[in-house]
């Protein structure tokens, strides 16, 4: 059985380029982000991979990344489910602020804690722990059962919502997950065992 799960972080967004906290705000992809998504799709096609269904967030940068991937692999009409459970972490009051301006306002150390700690949330926003609590049940209830039925699943989402999944798949801890970086547009190809543990992982950088 081919229990295939591919995770991909959206291509560069307009606010990534401008160094802004994005969260649940909804900027689209830059030209570079569009090319990152197309290149990621071409890498999947080169491996001969196809899919039975796809999942994405409620945000346009992830949805358009998925659309570009599916165009490249020749499956533009693949059944797709969009859900805000897969949205990026909500940065609350930081959303829309330049990261350098935030450091000037609150201090380098405080902004670093908000960005890189596991369980400290920015004002009005979510911690990574909160994001895991939102994303992981959705994965367990909606995505994982399909993979275990040997459906081939593609997920296009965000740095922090995907960290929640990678944390479980790679058996990372609250101490190690905040420092793990996911590159934009780069597919992570997992094959799972029947007990949902990882048989193999390939990063198509």
Q: What is the pLDDT of residue 32?
A: 97
Q: What is the pLDDT of residue 35?
A: 97
pTM, two decimal places: 0.94
Question: What is the block-wise mean pLDDT of the chain (205 residues), using blocks of 10 residues?
Answer: 94 92 94 97 96 98 98 97 97 94 94 91 95 96 97 97 94 87 96 96 95
Half-sphere exposure of 134 (CA within 13 A, CB side): 19
Q: What is the pLDDT of residue 65?
A: 98
What are all long-range contacts of 187-190, with beta carbons under 8 Å and residues at least 24 apart? 187/6, 187/7, 187/8, 187/40, 187/43, 187/44, 188/6, 188/7, 188/8, 188/162, 189/4, 189/6, 189/44, 189/47, 189/49, 190/4, 190/5, 190/6, 190/7
Q: Does 88 participate in catalysis according to the annotation?
A: yes
Q: What is the pLDDT of residue 178?
A: 78
Q: Which residue has the tokens 């081919």?
A: 2
Q: CA-CA distance, 20 to 148, in Å (whole number)?
A: 38
Instruction: Using DSSP, state whether 188 is helix, strand or coil.
Output: strand
Q: CA-CA distance, 53 to 185, in Å (whole number)?
A: 19
Q: CA-CA distance, 70 to 130, in Å (whole number)?
A: 30
Q: Does 112 participate in catalysis according to the annotation?
A: no
Active-site residue, from 10, 72, 126, 158: 10
Q: CA-CA distance, 79 to 51, in Å (whole number)?
A: 9
Q: What would the two tokens of residue 15 be?
A: 């606010």
Active-site residue, from 36, 72, 88, 126: 88
Are residues 156 and 60 in contact, defined by beta-carbon separation less than 8 angstroms?
no
Q: CA-CA distance, 17 to 150, in Å (whole number)?
A: 38
Q: Where do the domains of the chain lie? A: 4-152+170-187
Look at the domain 4-152+170-187 and name its fold: Rossmann fold (3.40.50)
Q: What is each CA distance from 134 to 128, 131, 205, in whole angstroms?
A: 10, 5, 28
């Amino acid at each position: 059985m081919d229990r295939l799960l591919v995770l991909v972080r959206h291509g560069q967004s307009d606010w990534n380029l401008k160094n802004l906290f994005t969260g649940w705000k909804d900027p689209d992809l830059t030209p570079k982000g569009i090319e990152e998504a197309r290149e990621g799709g071409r890498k999947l096609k080169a491996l001969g991979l196809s899919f039975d269904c796809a999942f994405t967030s409620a945000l346009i940068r992830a949805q358009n990344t998925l659309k570009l991937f599916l165009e490249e692999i020749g499956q533009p009409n693949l059944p797709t489910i969009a859900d805000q459970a897969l949205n990026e972490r909500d940065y609350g009051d930081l959303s829309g602020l330049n990261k350098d301006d935030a450091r000037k306002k609150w201090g380098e150390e405080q902004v670093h804690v908000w960005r890189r700690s596991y369980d400290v949330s920015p004002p009005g926003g979510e911690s990574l722990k909160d994001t895991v609590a939102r994303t992981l049940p959705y994965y367990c209830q909606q995505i994982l059962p399909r993979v275990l039925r040997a459906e081939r699943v593609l997920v296009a989402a965000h740095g922090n919502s995907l960290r929640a999944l990678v944390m479980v798949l790679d058996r990372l801890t609250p101490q190690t997950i905040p420092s793990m970086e996911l590159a934009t547009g780069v597919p992570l190809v997992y094959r799972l065992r029947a007990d949902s543990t990882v048989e193999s992982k390939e990063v198509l950088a």
